[in-house]
Amino acid sequence: MLFETFSKLEKKVQQVIDSILLLRKELNALKEKNVILKDQIDYNINNTVNLEKENKKLKEEQEKWKDRLHSLLKKMTDV
């Protein structure tokens, strides 16, 4: 009887150990995925910042061209 109880306990302990090992593997996989996702977020943030800068630059350039065009049209109407 004691041997049977001990055997059941040993089996349960082994199941717990197996569960812990599986959970550790899952945790490590999730940590790796988290690192990849953080890298993607950083890339996207940097890309967004660069696109916003480029957009601002292009809007400023567009405004300059618009002013030049208005100036030329004014000169043409004055002639």
Residue ranges per structural domain of the chain: 1-79
CB burial of 29-63 (b: ≥16 within 10 Å; e: otherwise) equals eeeeeeeeeeeeeeeeeeeeeeeeeeeeeeeeeee
Please tell me the pTM assigned to this model: 0.66
Q: Hey, how many other C-beta atoms are within 10 angstroms of the C-beta on 1? A: 5
pLDDT along the chain (79 residues), means of 10: 91 98 98 98 98 98 97 88
Q: Give pLDDT, residue 3.
A: 85
Q: Give pLDDT, residue 75.
A: 87
